[in-house]
Chain A
Amino acid sequence: MSSHWMAARARWLSVFCVVLLLACCAPIIADYSLDAYKNATTLKAETFALIDKSGEKYISHKAEAETLTTKVNAAYEFANGLANNSLSAQQWQIMRNPNGNLYGGFIRLWQKGPLPPAFREDLKTSIGRGYDEIICLEINKKDTQRCFSAAAPKT
């Protein structure tokens, strides 16, 4: 076997090793999930509807609020249960956090008393943008593109 042939073989082998390495070490992100997308878009609309009612006493809408909180928690559990989906799961955790300032914070403040109109509008904008970030990340798992969110405004 000639040394030239051996050298050529070694170089081709190194190419296949590089290709294999690229395949093994590629950053992994979860696949697009239609269920996750539907969760986010539906819960955004349902949260807006509940914010509209938060000018009234919490106790009058307690069952409704608890049902929605359960759905938001379920969306977190769904995202957290998918492989390689930690970024989306973290987003849901921030959204639902009872000590935070998005959905969880809205419920916490409402429990203290009815929320004034200006705050309800501001909340819808703030929480709406939060949901948009979650929706946008899900969309980008299918196809990297710009979408409407605070970080990536529509152009």
Chain B
Amino acid sequence: MSKFDDFFQTVLDGVKDAGGEAAKDFLKQATVDSQQFKAQAEANLQRWTTERANGEIDDDEFQSLVRGQLAEATLAALLKAGVAQQKAAELTDKVIDLAISTAFKFI
């Protein structure tokens, strides 16, 4: 195996490790979050329905709360996109650092 092949393999192994952890963590987090969000949404809907039935809130207010929950979900999705973007940027930085430091070892 040439020096270049060694270098390339070392970088690939590093990327696999870094990418694997980030991907696993992201998937695990996304599953937990969606389950918790769904449970919370159901509990909210139940509470608002009761409040509407008791006359504590009117139709406009009830609708506003339900639609507000959808707006919250959109904000949460934007947050997720931002976190994923940031993690991808961090991973790219790691790969670049790894490639450069590995290259110096092999030169």
Q: A105-B64, A109-B64 are in contact. Are A122 and B76 (CB under 8 A)?
A: no
Q: Counting chain B CB atoms within 10 Å of each CB, which of A11, A18, A87, A115 scores highest?
A: A87
- Min distance, Cβ A143 to any Cβ of chain B, angstroms: 9
0/1 interface trace, chain A 1-39, chain B, CB 8 Å (1 if under): 000000010011001001100110011110000000000
Q: Is the CB of B69 within 8 A of A23?
A: no
| A144 interface residue per 8 A CB criterion | yes
Surface stretch bound by B, among A43-51, A56-64, A69-77, A125-133: A125-133
Interface membership of chain A positions 115-155, coded 1 if the CB is closer than 8 angstroms to chain B and 0 otherwise = 11111001100110110011011001100101001111100
* Minimal beta-carbon separation of A139 from chain B (angstroms): 10
Q: Would A144 and B57 be within 8 Å (CB), given that A90-B78, A91-B78, A137-B78 are in contact?
A: no
Also in contact, A115 and B61, with CB within 8 A (given A126-B72, A136-B79, A153-B36)? yes
How far does the alpha carbon of A155 sit from the alpha carbon of B93 in the complex, in Å?
Answer: 28
How many B residues have CB within 8 A of the partner chain? 48
B74 nearest in chain A by CB position: A94
12 contacts between A and B (CB under 8 A): A18-B99, A19-B99, A100-B71, A101-B65, A101-B71, A102-B71, A112-B60, A115-B61, A118-B56, A119-B56, A137-B82, A151-B76
Known A140-B82, A141-B86; 14 more pairs at CB < 8 Å: A12-B4, A19-B96, A29-B89, A87-B78, A87-B82, A87-B85, A88-B82, A91-B75, A95-B75, A109-B60, A117-B56, A122-B51, A137-B79, A140-B86
